[in-house]
Structure 1
Amino acid sequence: MPIITVTTTVITRFDVPEGLSIDLVRHQALPDLSEDEQGTDAVLVLQDTAMNMVYLGSAEARSQSVGHSITEGEA
Structure 2
Amino acid sequence: MSAYLGVDLAWGLGTERRAPNETGLAALDGDGRVTDAGWARGVDEVTAWIAERLGPPEPDRSRRVARRHQPDGCP
TM superposition score normalised by structure 1: 0.32
1 or 2, which has the higher helix percentage? 1
1 or 2, which has the higher strand percentage? 2
Specify which structure has the bigger relative contact order, considering alpha-carbon pairs within 8 angstroms and separated by 6 or more residues.
Answer: 1
